[in-house]
Amino acid sequence: MDTRIHYCGEEGDSVKPRAHALGLTTCRTSPKSEAPEDRFVLQPPSTAQHLAYIHLQDQIVSGALPGGSRLKPEALAQTLGISRMPVREAIRQLNAEGYVTIRPNRGAIVTSRTPEEILELFEMRAVLEALAARIAADAGVAPEAIDDLELFLARLRRLRHDHVAWVERHDEFHDLLCALSGRQRLCMEIRRLRLAVRPYLRLYLRTHAEPEIAGHEHERILDAIRSRNGKRAETVMRAHVMANAHGIAECIPTSRADLGSEPARTAPRKKAAAAAAKPRKKSAA
């Protein structure tokens, strides 16, 4: 199977695998001297509806628009400099994908996820992404493609202390990995499931050491694909996706304030003063 991905660059240049998974093209954006993963970008279709869709999806995925936030087409259209119709169409698309909930006669709000829903999303993604890994391994992948992904992992490791950047690059790595399967629709669905839980992954990473652990798991996945061991690639990928699923799901009830939801009510002044007057216990060293 040809795993090299064509791009708009100079003839004869070496390339790195890129995600046809999203139905997008790749283009050179900076000189050859930069790291391979910095030389290409995904190019989405340019329409007003797509602009509104990407803007809203980014706001939801980043946590800037937390669950329960009301979406106002008029204000969004003014912000983006487009008409209201493309914004409404984008909201309908996000509703179909589960990011937004449209309430009759009340407008649209960002969907609030429960721990059970988050866990289900992880379970679905684990099955599909494990399938993609098995397909890639069984079909065989060019050694150069695996080498390029290993270089990408090296760059990812250097971002382990920058969780925001790490999450972005981590998702990109998984896009590239899924693209090796050659299954475009499968990769699109996997990406949708991954983006749906990204706000909660960001929160989870504030207190957990996922990046370093994930790095070792990524290497095992690549080793299985390189050795054309489909069964092992499937098993390792499934375990990788589910490794922290329960922990991320469990952080949701206490994360609403962090995600921008309404903060918890403060205690009445008298009770707060009484609590402050009590001697504090010494914390463990």
For range 52-61, the mean pLDDT:
88
Query: Which has more pLDDT, 32 or 239?
Result: 239
Among the residue ranges 34-48, 221-235, 270-284, the one predicted with the least confidence is: 270-284
Q: What is the pLDDT of residue 200?
A: 83
Question: Could you report how far apart the first and last alpha carbons of the chain are, in Å?
Answer: 57
- pLDDT at residue 30 tops 50: no
Q: What is the pTM of this model?
A: 0.66
Domain locations along the chain:
115-250
For range 190-201, the mean pLDDT:
88
**Which CATH number, 1.20.120.530, 3.50.50.60, 3.90.1150.10, 1.10.3720.10, labels domain 115-250?**
1.20.120.530
Please give the C-alpha separations between residue 85 and each of 30, 104, 117, 146, 275, in angstroms, as whole numbers. 36, 18, 31, 44, 53
Q: What is the pLDDT of residue 41?
A: 37
Q: What is the pLDDT of residue 101?
A: 92
Nearest of 29, 51, 55 to residue 41 by alpha carbon:
29
- How confident is the model over 74-127, as pLDDT tens digits? 999 999 999 999 999 999 989 988 889 998 888 999 988 889 999 999 999 999
Angle value at C-alpha 103, between 97 and 104, nearest 5 degrees: 125
